[in-house]
Amino acid sequence: MSVRPEAGEPAAAGPPPAAVAAAPRRRRLHPLTFVVGAVRELIALLAAGATGLLVGGMSTAFYFTLAGLGFGLAFHVAGWVTFTYVLYADRIELRRVLLGRSVKSIPRDRIRGVDVTASLPHRLLGLAVVHIDAGAEGGEGTLNAVSRQEADRLRRVLLARPTADRRPPRRLLARVTPRWYLYAPLSGAYLLTPFALAGSVLGTVYNLGDDLGLITRQRVETVGHDVAGVAPALAVALLVLMLLAMPVMSVIVFALFNWDFTVHERDGSILVERGVLTRRAVSLERRRLRGVELTDNPLERRAGVVRLGALITGLGDAAHRGRLLPAAPRPAAEDLAARVLGPVPGPLVAHPRAARGRRVARAVAPLAGVAAIAVPAGQPWVAYVCAALAVLAVPLGLDRYRQLGHASDGTRLTVRSGSLRRRQVVVDHGAVIGWRVRRTLFQRRLGLATLFVATGAGDGGYSATDMSEPDAVAFAAAITPEWLAPFIERPAPEPPGKPDAEQRDADQRDATPGGAPA
Task: Assess if residue 136 is contained within a domain.
Answer: yes
| 74 within domain boundaries | yes
CA angle 406, 412, 413 (to 5 degrees): 20
For residue 371, the domain's CATH number is 2.30.29
In a domain, 113, yes or no: yes
Is 86 in the same domain as 199?
no
Q: Is residue 451 part of a domain?
A: yes
- Confidence bin at 504 (pLDDT 50/70/90): low
Which of 237, 258, 279 delimits the end of a domain? Answer: 258
Considering the domain architecture, whether residues 111 and 209 belong to the same structural domain is answered as: no
Which of 42-46, 105-109, 418-422, 502-506 is predicted least confidently? 502-506
What's the structural domain count of the chain?
3
pLDDT average, residue stretch 177-203: 75
Q: Is 128 within 8 Å of 298 (Cβ atoms)? A: no
Question: Would residue 39 count as lying in a domain?
Answer: yes
Q: Domain check: are 57 and 81 in the same one?
A: yes
Residue 503 domain-assigned (yes or no): no
pLDDT of residue 462: 93
Q: Please check whether residues 377 and 481 belong to one and the same domain.
A: yes
Higher pLDDT, 16 or 345: 345
- Who has greater pLDDT, 192 or 273? 273
pTM of the model: 0.72
Q: Domain check: are 24 and 162 in the same one? A: yes
How does pLDDT run across 166-185, given as a tens digit for each residue? 556 778 999 999 999 999 98
Per-residue model confidence as pLDDT tens digits over 433-446: 999 999 999 999 99
Q: Are residues 94 and 232 in the same domain?
A: no
Does a structural domain hold residue 402?
Answer: yes
Residues 140 and 240 in one domain: no
Listed residues 211, 238, 258: the one ending a domain: 258
Identify the domain containing residue 133 by its residue range: 17-172
pLDDT per residue as tens digits for the range 227-258: 565 567 776 777 778 777 788 888 888 898 89
- The H or E element spanning position 131 is strand 127-133
Same domain, 102 and 160: yes
Rounded distance between C-alpha atoms, residue 170 and residue 172, angstroms = 7
Q: Which residues contact 103 (CB under 8 A, 6 or more apart)?
A: 93, 94, 95
| Same-domain status, 242 and 367 | no
Q: Hey, which bits of 313-377 come out as E strands?
A: 323-329
Q: What is the DSSP-derived secondary structure letter of residue 231?
A: -
| 71, 187: one domain | no
CA distance 338 to 315: 21
Say yes or no: 59 and 190 in one domain: no
**Side-chain-facing half-sphere of 10: CA atoms under 13 Å:** 1
pLDDT-derived band at 3, boundaries 50, 70, 90: very low
Domain termination residue (choose one: 258, 292, 312): 258
- Is residue 7 included in any domain, yes or no? no
Do 161 and 190 lie in one domain? The reply is no
